[in-house]
A and B are shown apart, each in its own frame.
Chain A
Amino acid sequence: MSKNQKTYYDLAIEKGYSRRDFMKFSAMMAALLGLESSSIGQVAKALETKTRIPVIWLHGQECTCCSESFIRSSHPLVADILLDKISLDYTETLMAAAGHQAEKSLQDTIRDYKGKYILAVEGSIPLNNNGVYCCIGGKTFEQIVEEAAKDAYAVLAWGNCASAGCVQAAKPNPTGAVPIHKMISGKPLINVQGCPPIAEVMAGVLVHILTFGQIPELDRLKRPKAFYSRRVHDTCYRRPNFDAGLFVQSFDDENAKRGFCLYKMGCKGPVTYNACGVMEWNNGTSFPIKSGHPCIGCSEEGFWDNGPFYTHLTNFPGFGIESTADKVGLGLGIATGVGIAAHAISTNIRKRSLINKVNGKPELEKNES
């Protein structure tokens, strides 16, 4: 309990960080949130004076890549104070407690911080067959989320699973997996998209809530605008190659070696909203396109169902796996051409009298006879 009365600054100092480290961290967070430099003080003050926000971090149908991403955040303080000290009131994969103790800790947090804690959910929720496909501690995940969300201040949907269902919700979705926003209503909800989301984005959302006491500005799909308002395409360093029409044709060609645009390799950058091109991953080391692989659009709804990763055109439903819209279109075009030809022939046979009439032939015949 006592650790919950402390501020982030107290916890950082306790952990052995210097004030300098702390100020650097505050500056970094302000920059990530896209704030002006004058707001660094605001962020630092919030971290210094406000007591930590309790966070319940639930894991449903997921692969834990969101947690993995988060603990690889570029600044150690992110993992140390935001993760260790903010969030670990309850999280299945990282908490020290286990069994009944852990479940008790969950119930305690819900009770003690009613309306104040943040519920972060990693993973989708299976609803088929009463949600039996994901049970923890004798309860279905559906029940757990419902209970935990009831008294939460806000709900954070970590990653594509919680935001859009990801691979579990891909066709045919055998477990009936749904994202959080399909289940919870009436609570502020933030979709922190990506598979996984970028660690700094996850940290940034938490710091924003802490600093300003409200959820960040969201786009229409409830993603924080600070990170998801631009397409990967628009911040991509290979963009000039796109405009110049210089494309990689296959992964082992000269163009790939020259670092041309991956558009023809099915890059989903033009239809994907994320900050990969700006923030990059793993301490700003790289991001998929930088390492020569097209974007697969992991921060977009239904990216598993939107055709193959390595081509742009979607599979046309009902025409087999390999049929793209263009093949179907061409087939229909040929069919139309054949239909036109058939109709033209038919016209010349069945409309003969009419054609003769307009050509004036019947009158001629009459005159002759």
Chain B
Amino acid sequence: MHPVYVWELPVRFFHWINALSIVALAVTGFIIGDPPAIQSATEASFSYWFGTVRIIHFIAAYVFFFNFVFRIYWGFVGNRFANWKNFIPYTKRSWIDMWEIIRVDILQIKSADNPNLGHNALASFTYFITFLAFLLQVLTGFGIYATTSSAWLPALFAWVPAMLGGDMVTRDIHHLMMWVFALFAMVHVYLVFYHDYIDWNGTTSSIIGGWKFQEEGKEEREKELDK
């Protein structure tokens, strides 16, 4: 086994900022959607907790958005594992690889070593779908936020609710999408452990340190796949 530097520092920063902001957004978003019942005799002027939950949601949204924009940029300047071409299955090869991974890792009807060092073809495609989910969440989120803000950025999204037919629908889509993120996180974390378990390549720690491990002699094959 020899180490290969797979995830560059900006990619790792992106990942963790993204993860933390999504957790913050999902938790606060869920509270905003269905606030807990508090029986209280207090006057409204003494408390602002719901407003605070909302401001955390909005700030996290900005962090999430600019982080996402940065990652798109890094898809053009980063190393080959970070490149945008990984994520869009525009070749026949990537679809064949995807089918292979479904047979080997999901259905487990075929036995084979994992030849991938970065994302495998199926994972890449899943991330591409996730990026689209990011985009939809950004569009609907800033869309409903636009009228309550005087800033220029949300104003750019004011057309979204109008196109979808009002804030009601936009809000519902925004809420439903949160569940896509929750389900993604479950499967994502499990598969990281899975690959660490069967491939012994340090998948879990790679997103902290950046290094993955590869068996000797496999490097040639990796390069071949890149072509």
Contacts and interface: CB of A to CB of B under 8 A. Distances in A.
Asked if A and B are interacting partners, one says yes
Interface of A: 219-221, 229-231, 234, 240-247, 249, 253-255, 258, 260, 263-264, 268, 270-273, 297, 300-303, 306-307, 312-314, 316, 325-326, 328-329, 332-333, 336-337, 340, 343-344, 346-347, 350-351, 353-355, 358
Given A306-B172, A347-B197, A332 B39 contact: no
Interface stretch (B68-76, B79-87, B94-102, B181-189): B181-189
A355 B39 contact: no
Contact of B198 (A240, A260, A316, A355): A355
Contacts of B144: 271
Given A243-B48, A344-B194, A300 B168 contact: yes
15 contacts: A240-B44, A243-B48, A244-B47, A244-B49, A245-B38, A249-B39, A255-B39, A271-B167, A271-B168, A306-B169, A307-B172, A313-B172, A344-B194, A347-B194, A354-B111
Minimum-distance CB pairs A-B, first 4:
A329-B179, A220-B162, A245-B50, A358-B200
A275 to B, nearest CB: 14
B38 to A, nearest CB: 6
Interface of B: 33-35, 37-42, 44-51, 53-54, 106, 108, 111, 113, 144, 147-148, 158-159, 162, 165-172, 175-176, 178-179, 182-183, 186-187, 190, 194, 197-200
A273 B48 CA distance: 24
B25 to A, nearest CB: 15
Nearest to B159: A220
A258 B167 CA distance: 29
B28 to A, nearest CB: 12
B158 A220 contact: yes
Contacts of B51: 243-244
B200 A240 contact: no
Nearest to A297: B168
Nearest to A346: B108
